[in-house]
Amino acid sequence: MEALSPLREGPDPNEAAMDVAGDLSKSMIKFYRRYPSITHRQHRSFSLQIHASLCRLMLTITMASEEQVKNSTAPAMFDTEAANCLMKELRSTFLAGKTKSYEWRSSQLKSLLKMLEDSDKQICDALFSDLSKPEMEAYIHEIAMIKSSCKLALKKLKDWMKPEKAKTNLGTFPSSAEIVPEPLGVVLIISAWNYPLLLSVDPVIGAIAAGNAVVLKPSELAPAMSSLLAKLLGKYLDNSAIKVVEGAVPETSALLEQKWDKIFYTGNGRVARVVMAAAAKNLTPVVLELGGKSPVLVDSNIDLTVTARRIVSGKWGCNNGQACVAPDYIITTKQYAPVLIDSLKHHLVKFFGEDPMNSPDMSKVGHSRHFARLKKLLDDDKISGKIIHGGQTDKSNLKIAPTIVLDAPEDSLIMSEEIFGPLLPIVTVEKIEDGVEFINSRPKPLAAYLFTNTKQLKEEFVSNISAGGVVINDVTLHLMVDTLPFGGVGESGTGAYHGKFSFDAFSHKKAVLYRGFFGDAPARYPPYTPGKLRLLKALLDGSLFGIIRALFGFS
Amino acid sequence: MNADQEMRWSVEELRLTFKSGKTRSVGWRKTQLRAILRLIHENEDTLFQLLKSELGKHPVESYRNEIGVVKKSADRALNCIEKWMSPKKGRLPLVFFPASRKVLPEPLGVVLIIGSWNFPISLTLDPLIGAISAGNTVVLKPSELSPNCASFLANILPSYLDPKAVKVIEGGREVSNQLLQYKWDKIFFTGSTKVGKIVMAAAANNLTPVTLELGGKCPAIFDFLSNSDLKVAAKRVASGKWGPCAGQACIGIDYILVEQKFASTLIEQLKKTIKKFYGDDAKNLKNLLKIINKGHFDRLRSFLEDPAVANCIVYGGSFDDTRLIIEPTILLDPPLDAEIMTEEIFGPLLPIITMDKIEESIEFINSKPKPLALYAFTKSENFKKRILAETSSGSVTFNDTMIQFLCDDLPFGGVGQSGIGRYHGKYSFDTFSHEKAVLERSFYFELEPRHPPWSNFKLQFLRLVYNYDYVGMLLLLLGLKRPSNS
């Protein structure tokens, strides 16, 4: 459709730059083969330099070509009219029944898998350019996650699509019943910038598996990934049923005016309210994947080394705290806090070196607006003098050092909003059990974590704390278990996905009842008599004896 | 204390009760469910009378659609509650070793149930059973259009159920609006599409999840049938159209689609059935319910005021203003753009639309919003398959009407314009629960490559982990496999 991708004459400048990048990486591999003794550090700094010069090159080419485009045609805007047009096209594809077949679904999932396999490098580059995400993180948290989710969907698709038999009762005898999953129709997926690949493609997998036509709106705050997704999905998937619309607020508003059969939104509570209110106009069901302040309760009878490692890597090793399931704050006892803090500091140095601001293993802060917000949290008067580790910021490179804040007051900014960054407040309590009370006095988080060896505390935590998910003795790991539903409750969201749950999120479960023409109980029909009432009572009770009694006229 | 403050206080009290954890215990839930059973058992006659006077329901109908339904749901919940509450455990891939996972259902908190007037008892108490079995505290807001049933519930519930956990708030639109401003953990609404949108928009302010049980124009497809089958089918159509509350039911048949050649045979059979069920004296109809109020009565009459529609009446069409009763009425091929074919009828008028080929009915249904229920009378397996695959609706019932409502194992709820979410049986429990994902790990055996600083070795290792390639992992760990550079 023209409105979506303005036609450009001649070679695509981005493609040209990508080709150059491809050639360069090939020669780098040759270079490494010749000099196998090169260290990891040297490799990183070398590739960083190359990346920087490549970015400059791409920018120059793009600007030059944009100049050309400006001279030839005005760029097309994605407005309400374009959205109408898009919806019309997708609706007709869906109504034609194309997306419903098993063959279509599996072929799309297969191409998606191929896309991921072919584009490893481009994806890592885009993630690096948007977020300085280390390749390792890009791989484990994004590429590998969706690969396994795609493989699972391919493997289980036939099972998932099968109707489920349902029991019938005496009241409807003789009959048979089943529950048939069917696609909802045309769905909208609005994704976030922090895991711009995972949070876009993972729901798309669910939507395709369930047989829907899809529009994906990637986040404009991760521009490189947004345009890469537009390019890749356009190239590998069926464009008559799967579209990417790039853009920011005006484009999203135009999209939200349409009547969707499901809206799947990942992001924050403020926008989620706007999305749900827009959905209400058309009675569109929503899945809202939000965040919240996910607490970590740390008991004192634990394996300290393992605990500290898991927390440090979950907080700073997952996109530098910019993950919806990242630990937001720690609660521990007054006595244990110093021990825990020492261990956290120790592991921070071990993982990210003495100068974490320049560590290649740490992502940067997503964008400048977000940086300013985090800076405000740090500059809050209420926590002055309470920063016991880190606190350095570098505005030009959008870097903030891993920071620990001890005993921030409950009304400080850092303790009242979701942090979503490398700052970690530690709250101390007298008794560890008080932590449960503390968590329960706040909005329900997306995840709640507990480190302990006490069975009783585990049980209390699991049964009394309401959160999207609960992990004992680890953090963030539940996200990787595809047999667990992933989603929030209350302020942290509505609905869940991952594995079979993704399929369900994009399906309607149709109740189907088959009847023959025999076995008609006259009690159902007027004219009504007391005898019919008795029989009906017996039928609904499912008591055979009662039915016989009623039929023979005893009461 | 004004009304608003009083309501706020009620909700606050429910919140405190929920926080105390009382409603989470199996014991509490079972006591409440037993109390509901006791309530309907001890007040059966009062309920029969109330439903008779307010809606004109015959006790058989009241039992079939209201009291019996509640009893069945409560019995079932009592039997299954322990099973429903128990966490679903499962195995994990070896790479997570040692760990365990489970999905644990937990109550959502304080929930609001807004009932409807057409089944004033079952559409309030049935969801209530779900909310209680899931361990929530509840505000029940019955419909002001069946005021006697509403005040019956308001008076009687506190003497059976825990008044600190279940409250009935009576009132009209103003009260509903006020209630919708509060922060709920779930809103369960039964009613019209128009109000459904208002409820969901209000819920959006607090990110409250909603279950919306709405309606829509439920079609019935009528294929060729042999004479004996036709007799049974006509009975089932009649009881699905005029039986439940005189067509004032969300899953009642709205219109019939039939082939032109077969239409007259069907109409003749329907006429015979109507006479048998309700008598042939238009002034003295039996077993037929009245229309809930003058407003709805006039709305239904206005459908027939259009001369183009009035000309299509082939049976019935008389209105009894004093008793608010409308005769079972059949219309043949009313104009498709007339109100009777664009609005949900929700009354005893039955349009029959003819087509050249019965297969065209699929396209006809798809050109309209998705209905709550779809009925099809056919013996052709092939046609059944096509209907299932090519149309979308909350439920599909072959060769019968209404009866899917009684199947606890089938989810009951709409799709698209006919609603969001589902209930009945275990689905009611799920509707009022949050499925919490729980993962438990121990401190032994740490998978080193999970943590930074990152290296090529770790990347290679994790690639193998994600492929569950245990042999590869072992080789790599033993140094027998070289990490690749790519």
pLDDT at B169: 95
Assign 3-state DSSP to chain B and report helix, strand, coil percentages, each to 5: 50, 15, 35
d(CA B78, CA B295): 40
User: Across chain A, which distance is largest between two alpha carbons, in Å?
Assistant: 97
The pLDDT value given to residue A173: 65
Q: Could you say which of A515, A532, A541 has the minimum Cβ distance to residue B399?
A: A515
Tell me what pLDDT residue A140 has.
Answer: 82
Helix axis angle, A120-131 to A40-72, nearest 10°: 90
Closest CA to B355 of B345, B369, B365: B365
Half-sphere exposure of B330 (CA within 13 A, CB side): 22
Catalytic residue of the set A289, A318, A418, A491: A289
Q: Do A279 and B68 touch (CB under 8 A)?
A: no
Residue B164, judged by CB atoms within 10 A of its CB (0-12, 13-18, 19+), counts as middle
Residue A474 touches partner B, C-beta closer than 8 Å: yes
Q: Which among A144, A462, A526 is the nearest to B278, CB-wise?
A: A526
Summarize pLDDT for A68-117 with one digit per residue, the tens: 544 444 446 788 899 999 999 999 999 999 999 999 999 999 999 999 99
Instruction: Give me the pLDDT at residue A36, please.
Output: 60
User: Per residue in A246-270, pLDDT tens?
Assistant: 999 999 999 999 999 999 999 999 9
Closest CA to B153 of B120, B186, B178: B120
Higher pLDDT, B343 or B486: B343
Report, at the CATH architecture level, how domain B3-214+424-435 is classified.
3-Layer(aba) Sandwich (3.40)
Q: Give the count of beta carbons closer than 10 Å to the beta carbon of residue A50.
A: 14
Contact between A159 and A187 under an 8 Å Cβ cutoff? The reply is: no
Q: Which residue of A has its CA nearest to B411?
A: A511
Instruction: Kindly give, in sequence order, each residue whose CB lies less than 8 Å from that of residue A461, ignoring residues fewer than 6 positions away.
Output: A297, A436, A448, A450, A452, A470, A472
Pinpoint the residues of chain B covered by CATH 3.40.309.10. 219-413
Residues A9-30: pLDDT tens digits? 344 545 555 565 566 666 666 6
Kindly report the nearest CA distance between residue B375 and chain A, in angstroms.
10
Contacts of A149 (CB under 8 A, 6+ apart): A202, A205, A482, A498, A499, A502
Per the CB < 8 Å rule, is A136 touching B394? no
Query: What is residue A71's predicted lDDT score, i.e. its pLDDT?
Result: 46
Tell me which residues of chain B, numbers 418 to 477, contact chain A at a CB-CB cutoff of 8 Å: 419-422, 434-443, 446, 450-456, 458-459, 462-463, 466
**Mean of the per-residue pLDDT values for chain B?**
89
Interface test mutation site (partner A, options B225, B454, B459, B463, max chain A beta carbons within 10 A): B454
- In chain B, residues under CATH classification 3.40.605.10 are 3-214+424-435
Average pLDDT, chain A: 86
Question: Torsion angle of alpha carbons B422, B423, B426, B429, nearest 10°?
Answer: 100
- Percent of chain A surpassing pLDDT 70: 81
- Report strand pairing: B110-114 vs A507-515: unpaired
Q: Which residues pair with A295 in a beta bridge?
A: A329
The predicted structure's pLDDT at residue A543? 62
Determine the Cα–Cα distance for residues A463 and A461; give it in Å rounded to an integer.
6
Chain A residues 411-470 within an 8 A CB cutoff of chain B: 440, 453, 458, 462-464, 466-470
Across the range B283-312, mean pLDDT stands at 86
Q: Hey, is B101 helix, strand or coil?
A: strand
Say yes or no to pLDDT of B486 above 50: no
Q: Residue A165 has which token pair?
A: 């038999």
Q: Which of A136, A466, A526 lies nearest to residue B243, judging by beta carbons? A: A526
Measure in Å the smallest separation between the Cα of B120 and chain A Cα atoms. Answer: 19
What sign does the CA torsion over B322, B323, B326, B328 have?
negative
Q: How distant is the alpha carbon of residue B4 from its chain centre?
A: 30
- Look at chain A and count its residues: 555
CA A34-A40-A44 angle, to 5 degrees, is 95
> What is the arithmetic mean of pLDDT over A424-437?
95
First-to-last C-alpha distance (Å) of chain B: 73
d(CA A463, CA A459): 6
Question: Each residue of B339-370: pLDDT tens digit?
Answer: 999 999 999 999 999 999 999 999 999 999 99
Task: Provide the 8-state DSSP code for B312.
Answer: T
| CB proximity list for A139: less than 8 A, separation 6 or greater | A124, B459, B462, B463
**Buried b or exposed e, range B298-321, using 16+ CB within 10 angstroms:** ebbeebbeeeebeebbbbbbebbe
Instruction: Give residue A546's pLDDT.
Output: 63
Whole-number CA gyration radius for chain B: 27
Decide if A536 touches B, using CB distance below 8 A: yes
What is the pLDDT at residue A555? 41
Quick check: B438 and A469 CB within 8 A?
A: yes
Q: What is the pTM of this model?
A: 0.86
Q: What is the pLDDT of residues B9-31, one digit of tens each?
A: 999 999 999 999 999 999 999 99
Q: Catalytic one among A124, A150, A318, A324?
A: A324
Q: CA A275, A279, A284, A290: dihedral to nearest 10 degrees?
A: 20
- At residue B332, the pLDDT reads 95
- Looking from the CA of A233 toward its CB, the CA atoms found within 13 Å total 26
Contact criterion met (CB < 8 Å) for A512 and B96: no
Alpha helices by DSSP H, listed for A35-119, are: 40-72, 80-95, 102-118
Q: Is A61 exposed, middle or buried (0-12, 13-18, 19+ CB in 10 A)?
A: middle
pLDDT surpasses 70 at A59: no
H/E segment holding residue A510: strand A507-515
Q: What was the pLDDT predicted at B479?
A: 65
Task: Report pLDDT for A400.
Answer: 93
The CB density around residue B43, as the number of other CB atoms within 10 Å, is: 17
Chain A closest-CA separation from residue B397 CA (Å):
5
DSSP string over A209-240: HTT-EEEEE--TTSHHHHHHHHHHHHHHS-TT
Whether B54 shows a pLDDT value over 60: the answer reads yes
The answer, yes or no, to whether residue B98 has pLDDT greater than 70, is no
Give which of A198, A515, A518 to mutate to test B binding, by max B Cβ within 10 Å. Answer: A515
Which of B25, B37, B57, B64 has the most A C-beta neighbours within 10 Å, making it the best mutation to test the interface with A? Answer: B64
- Please state which of the ranges A122-131, A171-180, B290-299, B362-371 shows the lowest mean pLDDT: A171-180
Structure confidence by residue, pLDDT tens digits, B434-464 = 999 998 887 766 666 777 777 777 777 777 7
Look up A289 and say whether it is catalytic.
Answer: yes
B382 lies within 8 A of chain A by CB: no
Cis peptide, bond prior to residue A527, ω within 30 of zero: yes
Closest by alpha carbon to A59, among A14, A104, A108? A14
Q: Using CA atoms, how far apart are residues B70 and B84, in angstroms rounded to an integer?
A: 19
Angle CA A426–A428–A430, to nearest 5? 165
* CA atoms of B86 and B75, how far apart (whole Å): 18
Contact B366 A95 (CB under 8 A): yes
Question: Using one digit for the tens of pLDDT, what is the confidence trace for A505-537?
Answer: 999 999 999 988 776 666 667 777 777 777 777
Residue contact A537–B392, C-beta within 8 A: no
What's the mean pLDDT in A490-506? 95
pLDDT, tens digit, 9 for 90 and up, residues A155-183: 999 999 999 998 876 566 678 899 999 99
Q: How many residues does chain B have?
A: 486
Q: What is the 3-state secondary structure (H, E, C) of B207-255?
A: CCCEEEECCCCCEEEECCCCHHHHHHHHHHHHHHHCCHHHHCCCCCCCE
What the block records as the tokens of A34 is: 């010749």
B234-283, pLDDT tens digit by residue? 999 988 888 767 778 888 999 999 999 999 999 999 999 998 888 877 67
pLDDT, position B411:
92
The pLDDT of residue A492 is above 70 = yes
Partners of B462 on chain A (C-beta within 8 Å) are 136, 139-140, 144
A325, B46, B98 from A131: Cα distances, Å: 18, 68, 33
The pLDDT of residue B483 is: 53
| CATH architecture assignment, domain B219-413 | 3-Layer(aba) Sandwich (3.40)
Structural tokens at position B112: 């609001």
Q: Is B271 on the interface with A (CB under 8 A)?
A: no
CB proximity list for A140: less than 8 A, separation 6 or greater: B450, B462, B466
For residue B373, pLDDT over 90 is answered with yes
Counting residues of chain A whose pLDDT is more than 90, the rounded percentage is 64
What residues of B are annotated to the active site? 213, 250
Q: What is the pLDDT of residue B442?
A: 79
pLDDT of A7 > 60? The answer is no
Q: Is B367 on the interface with A (CB under 8 A)?
A: no
Q: Mean of the pLDDT values across residues A350-375?
A: 88
Query: Hey, which residues 225-244 in chain B have their CB within 8 Å of chain A?
Result: 228-229, 232-233, 235-236, 238-239, 243
